[in-house]
Amino acid sequence: MTGSLAERGIAVEQVVVYGLLTALGLGALVMALGFGFFLEESRVGPGLVPGVVGGLIALTAGWELIATLRGKRTPHDRGLAEIVAATASDAPPAGASSERTDSGGVPSGEGAMVSPDDGPMEFPGADAGPGLDDVDIFGRTPQERGRQLVIVFAALVVACLLVPLLGFLVSFFILSLFISAVVERRGWFPSLVVSFLAVAAVYGVFVGFLGVPLPTGLIGIGG
């Protein structure tokens, strides 16, 4: 495997996630032992399901962890996009189907016998967007996009923390404005208009129509 930067990044994330899941499973198992697996007359007790489930999580996650550490798994090799590529490669290669096969990067003979085991709501990201290493249409590199992701999530947390102070509507107006104007670098004026309309719509639907009392904060706007 010629591991690109992004692929190696994913492998590291996999190790961390499987490691955490293994720990979670073990933790659940240990705690469940304290709840008691069986009641009198060997009836199912409060600890049985979490205990067994926790144990199985530890086993499967541990298995995946070891497999990943040994470099057995290549990510994104049998997802939805590749099945499409496999189906398409049966057809005469033309237009979109050949583009697809490229992005899939799977030997077509190999892919053809994969059973179509896709998730009901899984979105073929590799198909729709640029590859992990590519620059998107706004010329943003993966590093920039990763930074954007962190900024947006941090902004979400900050906005939620500000709710008791500023109220729901004000803090989410600021959030929306911040994301559109600063993170996405849209114009200030359209961002203001869109954010205002969005917050107004939320107010109309949730407060006006559904009668949900939104927290108003210290300022007392909305609600």
Partner 1 sequence: MLDNLVLGFSTALSLENLLWCFVGVLVGTVIGVLPGLGSTTGVAVLLPLTLSLEPVTGLIMLAGIYYGSQYGGTITSVLISTPGEASSVVTTLDGYQMARQGRAGAALAISAIGSFVAAIISLALLVLLAPPFAEFALSFGPPEMLAVMILGLATIISFAGDNRMLGLLMALVGLLIATVGVDPGSGTSRFTFGSIYLLGGIPFVEVMIGLFAVGEVLFQIRQGAAAPIRAGFRELMISRDDLRRSRGPILRGSFLGFLFGILPGAGSTLASFMAYGIEKRVNKRGKEFGTGAIEGVAAPEAANNAAANANFVPTLTLGIPGGATTAVLLGAFMINGIQPGPLLFDEQPTLVWGLLASFFIGNVILLVLNLPLAPVFAQILRVPYGYMYPMILLTSLVGAYSISNGMYSVWIVLIFGIIGYFMKRLDLPMAPLVLGVVLGPLFEKALVQTSAIGDGNLLIVFTRPLALVVMAIAILQLAAPSLMARLLRRRDTTRSRRSDSADSTPEDSHRG
Interface residue with partner 1 among 140, 192, 216, 221 (CB under 8 A) is 140
Tell me the closest approach of the beta carbon of residue 135 to partner 1, in angstroms.
8
Total Cβ atoms within 10 A of residue 56: 12
Judged by CB under 8 A, the number of residues near partner 1 is 112
Site string for partner 1, 27-56 (x = CB under 8 A): -x--xx--xx-xx-xxxxxxxxxx--xx-x
Question: Given CA atoms 90, 91, 93, 99 in this order, what sign does their dihedral have?
Answer: negative
Task: Kindly identify the residues of this chain, within the stretch 156-175, that bind partner 1 according to CB under 8 A.
Answer: 156-157, 160, 163-164, 168, 172, 175
Radius of gyration of the chain (CA): 24
Token pair belonging to 4: 């690109």
Q: Is 88 exposed, middle or buried (0-12, 13-18, 19+ CB in 10 A)?
A: buried
220 is a contact residue toward partner 1 (CB under 8 A): no
118 is a contact residue toward partner 1 (CB under 8 A): yes
90 is a contact residue toward partner 1 (CB under 8 A): yes
Tell me the closest approach of the beta carbon of residue 1 to partner 1, in angstroms.
16
Nearest 5°: CA angle at 88, between 85 and 92? 140
